Amino acid sequence: MSEVKPYRPEGSKKEQVAAMFDAISPKYDALNRILSGGIDQSWRRKTLREIRGTGALTLLDVATGTADLALALAKGIPGSRVVGVDISAGMLEVGRSKVRARDLESRVRLDLADGEQLPYDESSFDGVTVAFGVRNFENLEQGLRDMRRVLQPGGTLAVLEFSQPTVWPIRSLYLFYFKNILPRIGRMVSKDASAYTYLPNSVQAFPYGEAFATKLREAGFSSVRIRPLTFGIASLYLAIK
């Protein structure tokens, strides 16, 4: 996978990603709703349903951001406890305010930590999720291996990530929107000229579909399934430790 960074070719991708999300965190949720037309919420609900069907109750949400998926898991799975982890303090600050507003502090905890070097013991969780975060990893393979490490044997990993439609004219419309319209709206609202140029570039560089499924198998996962969503704009990957 070619290396795509938010601000400059040199330096740590991890540090640049953290700085980027810190900068856009106050506007992140609003921009998500605007840029996706709210469809990202339906994708998270599908992820929730898959995890709920496994019976998992101790859950880790990697690259949790402002905790949208972590909160959905806690609300949608009675008796669950959710830990969210992210490298952006700014995103976590927004997420913690949402946790407090929903009175879920006893069931949702958000930690500042590196998703590629998770500060948790082996086999600590029976379900791990990550939504729109793996393409931001500096070392994708290391991140996948570490998520597998903290999963209990038989536990499920659910990865929700952007992919690329293959059917015309959906693909042409998608590429035009991603390359021309989305960056302009993102720049206007977030005031960060690079963040929403990085997004389409990082999606294009990401090994989606079977290429990502192969990465999961190489990291030691089995029973890998791919569920394309909304004409292939996103994909939900499910894998077992």
- pLDDT tens-digit profile of 162-203? 998 888 888 888 888 878 887 787 777 667 767 778 877 888
Confirm whether 110 is domain-assigned.
Answer: yes
Are 22 and 91 a contacting pair, CB within 8 Å?
Answer: yes
Confirm whether 93 is domain-assigned.
Answer: yes
Confirm whether 165 is domain-assigned.
Answer: yes
% of the chain residues with pLDDT over 90? 64
Distance CA 179, CA 197 (A): 8
Are 118 and 85 a contacting pair, CB within 8 Å?
Answer: yes
pLDDT of 2 above 60: no
Residue 23 pLDDT class (50, 70, 90 cuts):
confident
Confirm whether 207 is domain-assigned.
Answer: yes
Confirm whether 23 is domain-assigned.
Answer: yes
Confirm whether 80 is domain-assigned.
Answer: yes
What is the model's pLDDT at position 184? 81
What is the number of structural domains in the chain? 1
For 179, the domain range is 13-240
Compute CA distances 173 → 5, 167, 181, whole Å: 25, 10, 11
Confirm whether 188 is domain-assigned.
Answer: yes
CATH number of domain containing 147:
3.40.50.150
Confirm whether 1 is domain-assigned.
Answer: no
**Does the reported pTM lie above 0.95?**
no
